[in-house]
Amino acid sequence: MRSITAFSNPLVKATRLLRDKKHRRDAGRFLAEGLRILTEAREAGRLPETLFFVPSATDRPLVNALVTATEAAGGEAIETNADILSKLSGKDNPGSVIGVYEEFLTPLASIDRAAAQLWLVAERLRDPGNLGTILRTADAVGAGGLILLDDCVDPFSVEAVRASMGALFTVPVARATWEEFRMWLRSGPGQLVGLSLDTDADYRAADYASPTFLLTGNEAQGMPDHMAAECDLLVKIPMLGKADSLNAAVATAVMAYEVLARHRG
């Protein structure tokens, strides 16, 4: 087991660069931090290629389990200090563990739409916090996965991974263009339900068919007209106060639980 305490170490420098989107894509690797998230990943069958941890954390059974599993899978566990972890994570108070993982996405063509009654679809999301929160919602409602359309924020960014609280490792994520998704969706069963302000249909009064593909548009602009026109159903969450809409992630969660309740009868 190696010990690294120097900021100038080449591995520390290379790992730090994974916070940048370009380097992350070039390397095909991303960072995940915190014992809870890395434990969720381990329980989902995903282990880091490199695990950084502080020696004082090894008195915790979950940290020891991560170290043992990482090494058993051929990865490397590296002892370091809190300053190095802070440099890698970009946080003043980092967790006790940080892992480097290979990026993974689910090909759209391999999705079995019959595997779940509800799927979440997001279009041009910009906020990594929203993306991470939608992943947590997908996990909470037992959705089959999350399909990201067009130019969405990177699900492997440090901020999105952090906001997902481990759901990135438990919820299948696919990427596609709108046209790829539209053609795939119409090749089999599936109701496309869009969240929109331009409809009078109350989300509580609508009929949802299985499987339901719940489409959330861009935070600022909503979904484009051509996508709204393709939806089998457009629904609206009534706003009783002065705000004209909910946050995209909150609206997705409200809708997801409504659809889940309907499917449960």
Q: For residues 132 and 249, what is the distance between their CA atoms, to the nearest angstrom?
A: 9
In this prediction, what percent of the chain has a pLDDT beyond 70? 100
pLDDT over 80 (residue 245): no
Q: H or E stretch including 43?
A: helix 35-43
| Three-state SS at 158 | helix
pLDDT band at 90 (very low <50, low <70, confident <90, very high): confident
pLDDT over 80 (residue 132): yes
- In one-letter notation, the amino acid at residue 61 is P
Q: Domains along the chain?
A: 2-102 (3.30.1330.30), 108-263 (3.40.1280.10)
Give the pLDDT mean for 77-103: 91
pLDDT band at 1 (very low <50, low <70, confident <90, very high): confident
Instruction: List pLDDT tens digits, range 44-56.
Output: 999 999 999 998 8
**Tokens 């909503």 found at:** 222
Q: What is the pLDDT of residue 59?
A: 82
Q: Beta-carbon neighbour count of residue 184 at 10 Å? A: 17
Q: What is the pLDDT of residue 265?
A: 81
Q: What is the pLDDT of residue 222?
A: 87
- Of 221, 216, 132, give the one whose Cα is nearest residue 173: 132
Q: What is the pLDDT of residue 242?
A: 76
CB 78 within 8 A of CB 1: yes
pLDDT over 90 (residue 240): no
CB 121 within 8 A of CB 215: yes
Q: What is the pLDDT of residue 128?
A: 96
Q: What is the pLDDT of residue 28?
A: 96
| Three-state SS at 137 | helix
| pTM, full prediction | 0.93
Instruction: List pLDDT tens digits, range 5-22.
Output: 999 999 999 999 999 999
Backbone φ, ψ for residue 191 (5° rounding) = -100, 125
In this prediction, what percent of the chain has a pLDDT beyond 90? 86
Instruction: List pLDDT tens digits, range 144-191.
Output: 999 999 999 999 999 999 999 999 999 999 999 999 999 999 999 999
| Average pLDDT taken over every residue of the chain | 94
Please report, in angstroms and rounded to a whole number, the separation of the first and last CA atoms in the chain: 54
